[in-house]
Structure 1
Amino acid sequence: MARPKAPEDADAYEACGRCGEHRPVAARWPDGLICQNCYRKAIRTSGTCAVCGHVGILPGTADDGPTCRTCSGVRINVDCVRCGAEDELYSQGRCWSCALSNYVDTALSAPNGGVPAQLEPLADALKRMQRANSGLTWIRQDHVQATLRMIATNGTITHEAIDELPKSRTRDFVRGLLIEHGVLPRRDHYLAAFSEWLTQIPNRVADDEHRRLVDRWIRWNFLRKFRAMDEVPRNAFLRAKQSITVGVDFLNWLTEHHVTFVDTTQGDVDRWLTSGPSTRQFIDRLIPWAQSARLINRDLIVPRHRRGTAPRMSASDQASATERLVHTDELSPRDRAIGILVLVFGQQLRKSLELRWSDITVNEDTVCVRLGSIDLELPPPLDAPWRELLTEPVNLRTASHPSSDWVFTGQSPGRPINPGHIATHLRDVFSARAARLGALHELSKLGPVPIVAEALGYSPETIEAHRVDSGSTYAQYVGAVRRQRL
């Protein structure tokens, strides 16, 4: 069998006239043979010609910069037969944007033809995407087209109608697009997700009496509180899910051991806690509630989760991690900016990701971030990632974020990036939790509790707890200031 030709095989291919690599040849242009990589790069280069000022595709090269087809003598077809624009062609002489437009019209067409008026804002947003190739990659998938067709043929579009569609990430993503472009009203994302998650709970409870107990517990201890909030935080949503899951497991365990909840003893609780993982302590939300509601006959004790036992990064490790963070090429400007908030200012990932550009001030001399009620100035080189983010924001070239004020936009329409995703990116440099606790340990020593709390956006009680843990006192702070003045 003949040996396949490797891209870098000097005996198989002549050198590219631009990059010098021995790769498969795509074209012969005035400056020599052009490999496939350089060809794709050339036809995707657009802007203003460095020679004549023509605006369009710039496949040629010159000392002053990229040049157009006329000035470079490069002969390629990049004229879309549908819109006439100069662009990389996708198929049948059409550019990526025109091909995307055709897919959008097909997927969102109603049975009687044409895009329903209610869906026109979504259709327009998809067609105007700057990254049309990303839109095509997404919309060509069978499950995406199926979801869009179901929505387009479903008549009036409401959240309730979307809820009736098969549950999937695509359904939730499309819902986000509909909200972001004004087709559907905004609603509390985590409250809706929690309500949907609750529909599976009754089937997971083995005993009818316990099922009624769980229903009452959820309504009074979770839903009532969540509905009173302006917006349910992600952490509260996750804690509620874990508490209910553990509570249901405990009740099912009682059923298996032929114990009714009303007759549960301390021995039953202790056996449950010691025969499984530490997460079983999350029954500390079910049992106290049941006792306050007089649904249990005895006073039962469930040990609280111990706080302050998580690993904490030392000051020297923080300094090393900060040095690596600001000078590394391993992380994007977005990840480095978030890392600075955690590592230097002790911010929670969730809170960091909820920053908006209205919280950031960038000018020629300074970059300031508002974490609490005070603008904190970031000295060089901590300011560099923020300046880069301002000039090259992330995820703003698709239909998910047409005019978002989020600093750290995510893949989901209208929402910031997921904290777990960022924690994974930062893991090679530091643990986000250990870094945050280490930073708060040190920051709590810098001044009076109210001032530190106000600057960082924490409650005074939280900063006080870290200050006590660090062995710092306000008297020590005052003494240090006096010594500096002497």
Structure 2
Amino acid sequence: MTGRSAPPPEWTELADRITAFLPELPAPEAARIVAGMTPAARTRIRDHLRLHPDALVSGASDAPRSTQALITSLAGAGITGVKAPSCLRCGRVRPLRRAVPGGRVCLGCEGVLAARGNTGPCCVCGETRPRPSNQRCASCQRAHISATRSCSACGKPAALDPCTSCRPRPPARCALCETNAPVCARWPLGPVCKPCYREARTHPGTCPVCQNERVLIAFTDGRRRVCGPCTGRGDPYACPRCASPRSYLIRGLCDRCTLHDELDAVLGPAAETPDDQYARMRAALASCDQPRTALNWIRNSHSARLLAGLTGTGRPLTHDDLETLARSGTRGDAQTTDYLRGILVAYQALPERDELLARIERHLARVVERHPEHALLLRPYVRWSLLPRARRAAHRRAGLKHRIRWAYTRINLAAAFLTAMNERGLALADVTQHEVDAWGAGNPSTHYEVRDFVVWAAHRGHSRPLLVPHRPKADPEGLDEDSHWELLQQCLTDTALPLEVRAAGAVLLLFGQHVTRIAALPADALATVDGHTVLILDRTPIRLPEPLALLLTELTRQEPPGGWAANSPRRWLFPGIRPGLHISSTALARHLTAHHIPVRQARTTALVQLAQDLPPAILAPMLGLHVITAQQWRRRAATDWTAYLEARRRNRRGVPIE
């Protein structure tokens, strides 16, 4: 009898290379595995392990298919040290078939790369894109298939059944939040759920290795999140133009590159020339801090579509053109036009104008169109009474919306009063005090405002002297001194409050400014004079105490909120959500009230305290008050102490003190 022959040296070498990085695998078991291989597989695995000794444990994507089969069999036998190779492009652990420069890719990525190899104009949409099938791009191919198929679950047209939304996704442990949830993507760091995927795509981070802004899809050995290229893998979310992270909402490009294309489509290539009307606007929007805001406006806004139609005419755009559109359309069209005007003015495509005068004239034209029989009275009333007062208030930045509403109310009530008298068969000259009282009794809360028109008509000789009482005003209520200073101390020191609330509340509690004026404070209202920080509310700079100076300085250095405020030049201490405009007084008052700062009571207390210490001649130019208003606050601050002394004469039970 003869003994068993020794294995060939090549088999022994291969078994030794397999067990070199797998100490838990016994040598006899490795020899048995090698003996069961085909000659071609032994040759390919041996050659690959000679070049890459750690191929069984590294997870590198360049492993040939025979090596992948060996790893799968070892893992099935309970060998935990092996690591399956992941796709070079998508990072998922799948069978890797196609060899590409740098490694191998899975079947899905193989199709993507093949489609990208056939790039050209799509026969359906005409866009230059990869054409995976029948000279169509992927989107048009899916639409072509969806035209004849539908999802059996939701019934919507779909290329696959069930569709992507209805197809159940197997749950797995998310590598980021460590919760069991349906898998949305499989990255090199592991499976990722939908919320974590959305967060990573919408808020790319800075890779700690290469310092580039990318979608962080991998882990280092220290469990730090890094980008794919820093771990030897590709970046599937890189923009093909600038290598920035692609948009989460728009396919193909990043937000900024898409914004460039959309600006070219809306403004035209002429906007790239320095002397074009829209050159500054295009440059500012193209380089804005948050391109997604501008992109959403261009793609979804009625005002952007209106701008595209106006620029398509090829002639310069003026305020008169926009005003003609606003007057000829509906109220919604006028709002769209005004929104577009605000953007054009904010980005210097149009010069600024007196918005109050223009709005009054527009509203007058609409009212006269509805009531042409009153034109002979309404036009002179607006021209000689409302417009002069509006011009005198044009230098004020604050309260534009309220002044517009003030003018609208007076025009509307004048037309309503004339219509009511006309229905009774009375001309304005024949109206008596009885008719005025009867008409005003119907809705006294608003009919007080007709006093302005009635007084003007009597002075001009259009009617007999008529009396409409002033709107009654309740005495303002203030805070007690302790509560007032506690609120001020909270605004100056409590870092838990939002910075905008602290700054606005401190100005309100210290200087008694109206919320409309606080909201409209420009950024240059905070200045430095002789080394001291001052706040300019009207004509007299006010030297600020150090805590308030530090608070307002911190506010000016704060990053603006999202939206148009981040993309517009910094002009306001409290920027708003509309382009180039400050926050509305209503929104600011709502923020203060939500943090338990009573606006009216706080303003009343602050003005009373200031009026006690300063004469009206100094208080008025310092706070921007009219001299008469400052005198009224002075009289209110000069409290009659009789009631106080009477209260001191009694104890809590009402018994006089002897």
The interval holding the TM-score normalised by the smaller chain is 0.7 to 0.9
User: Using the alignment, how far apart are the partners of 2:271 and 2:547 within structure 1?
Assistant: 58
Aligned to 1:197: 363
State the structure with more CA Rg.
Answer: 2
Q: CA deviation at 1:95?
A: 0.6
> CA 1:147/1:194 → structure 2, altered by over 3 Å: closer, same or farther?
same
The alignment status of 1:36 with 2:194, answered yes or no, reads: yes
Q: Which residue identity does 1:281 align to in structure 2?
A: Y
- Counterpart-to-counterpart distance in 2, 1:173 and 1:90: 25
Cα separation, 1, equivalents of 2:301 and 2:617: 56
Change in 2 beyond 3 A, CA 1:43/1:319: same
Name structure 1 gaps, 5 residues minimum: 3-11, 474-486
Equivalent positions of 1:326-345 (< 5 A) are 332-345=498-511
Structure 1 distance, partners of 2:564, 2:371, is: 46
Q: How many residues align?
A: 457
Q: Which residue of 1 aligns with 2:558?
A: 391
Correspondence list, 1:446-485, <5 A: 446-472=613-639
Residue of structure 2 in register with 1:443 after alignment: 610
Identity %: 25
Deviation string 1:163-221 (CA, Å, 9 cap, x unpaired) is 23343333222222222333222211222122212111113437x2x431122111111
Deviation of 1:108 after TM superposition, in Å, equals: 3.0
Query: What is the CA–CA distance in structure 2 between the aligned matches of 1:472 and 1:455, rounded to whole Å?
Result: 23
**Is the Cα–Cα contact under 8 Å of residues 272 and 279 in structure 2 kept in the other structure?**
no
Aligned equivalent of 2:317, options 134, 146, 157? 157
Q: Per-residue deviation at 1:442?
A: 3.3
1:97, distance to aligned residue in structure 2 (A): 1.0
Q: Matches of 2:307 and 2:381 in 1, distance apart?
A: 38
Residue 351 of structure 1 and its aligned partner are, at CA, apart by 1.3
Pick from 129, 134, 137 the counterpart of residue 296 of structure 2.
137
SS of the aligned residue for 1:342 comes to helix
Q: 1:346 Cα shift?
A: 1.1
Q: Does the CA-based 8 Å contact 2:271-2:282 persist in structure 1?
A: no
Q: How big is each residue's C-alpha offset from its partner over 1:367-406, in whole Å with a ceiling of 9 and x where there is no partner?
A: 65333423342554885475145231236866862x3322
What are the within-5 Å matches in structure 2 for residues 17-416 of structure 1?
A: 17-29=175-187, 31-45=189-203, 49-50=207-208, 52=209, 54-57=211-214, 59=216, 67-71=226-230, 76-86=235-245, 88=247, 90-109=249-268, 117-141=276-300, 143-154=302-313, 155-165=315-325, 166=329, 167-205=333-371, 208=373, 210-227=374-391, 230-231=394-395, 234=400, 235-297=402-464, 299-319=465-485, 321-322=487-488, 332-361=498-527, 368-372=534-538, 373-380=540-547, 383-384=550-551, 387-394=554-561, 401=568, 403-416=569-582
Structure 2 counterpart of 1:141, one-letter code? N
Query: Residues 45 and 57 of structure 1 are in contact (CA less than 8 Å); yes or no, is this contact kept in structure 2?
Result: no
Residues 263, 150 of structure 1: CA spacing in aligned structure 2 closer, same or farther, 3 A cutoff? Answer: same
Secondary structure at the counterpart of residue 199 of structure 1: helix
Deviation at 1:152, TM superposition (A): 1.0
1-side partners of 2:460 and 2:510: how far apart? Answer: 45
8 Å contact 1:97–1:127 — kept in the other structure? yes
Contact 2:215 2:237 in 1 (8 A): no
Give 1:6's aligned residue: none
Q: Are 1:445 and 1:467, in contact at CA under 8 Å, matched by a contact in 2?
A: yes
Which amino acid in 2 is paired with 1:55?
N
User: Distance in 2 between the 1:237 and 1:397 partners?
Assistant: 24
Letter of the aligned partner of 1:39 in structure 2?
Y
- Which of 1 and 2 has higher RCO (CA within 8 Å, sep 6+)? 1
Residue 81 of structure 1 and its aligned partner are, at CA, apart by 1.2
Question: Which amino acid letter does the alignment assign opposite residue 164 of structure 1?
Answer: T
Q: Which amino acid aligns with 2:212?
A: V
Which is further off, 353-362 or 286-295?
353-362
1:309-367 CA-to-partner distances (Å, cap 9, x unmatched) read 3554444554565566567789642244223322332111221122222222589x986
2:375 alignment partner, SS class: helix
- In 1, distance between residues paired with 2:224 and 2:492? 31
2:181 and 2:484 map into 1 onto residues whose CA distance is 45
From the superposition, tell whether residues 185 and 455 of structure 1 become closer, same or farther in structure 2 (CA, over 3 Å). Answer: closer
1:23 and 1:450 mapped to 2: Cα distance? 70
Aligned equivalents of 2:350, 2:634: Cα separation in 1: 47
Shift of 1:261: 1.0
Q: CA deviation digits over 1:210-236, x for unaligned, max 9?
A: 431122111111224434665476243
Superposed CA deviations along residues 30-79 of structure 1, whole A, max 9, x for unmatched, are: 554433333343345567543x4533326267889864444466754232
Q: Is the CA contact 2:500–2:574 (under 8 Å) kept in the aligned structure 1?
A: yes
Instruction: Compute the displacement of 1:240 (Å).
Output: 1.9
Task: Give 3-state SS (helix, strand or coil) of 2:377's partner.
Answer: helix
**Residues 227 and 455 (structure 1 numbering): CA distance in 2 closer, same or farther, change over 3 Å?**
closer
Across the aligned residues of Structure 1 and Structure 2, the Cα RMSD in angstroms comes to 3.8
Q: Which runs of 5+ in 2 are unaligned?
A: 1-152, 154-169, 641-658
CA contact (8 A) 1:355 1:407 kept: yes
Taking the aligned partners of 1:146 and 1:45, their CA distance within structure 2 comes to: 29
Q: Which moved more, 1:247-256 or 1:14-23?
A: 14-23
Q: CA 1:440–1:461 in 2, change beyond 3 Å: closer, same or farther?
A: same
Distance 2:223 2:615 in 1: 58
- Structure 2: how far apart are the matches of 1:17 and 1:98? 31
CA displacement, residues 439-480 of structure 1 (integer Å, 9 cap, x when unaligned): 32333334444444454343443233223223349xxxxxxx
- Is 1:90–1:99's contact at 8 Å kept on the other side of the alignment? no
Opposite residue 157 of structure 1, the aligned amino acid is: L
**Residue 317 of structure 2 aligns to which amino acid in structure 1?**
I
State the shift of 1:89 in Å: 5.7
Q: 1:275 to 1:145 in 2, by over 3 A?
A: closer
Query: 1:146 Cα deviation (Å)?
Result: 2.7
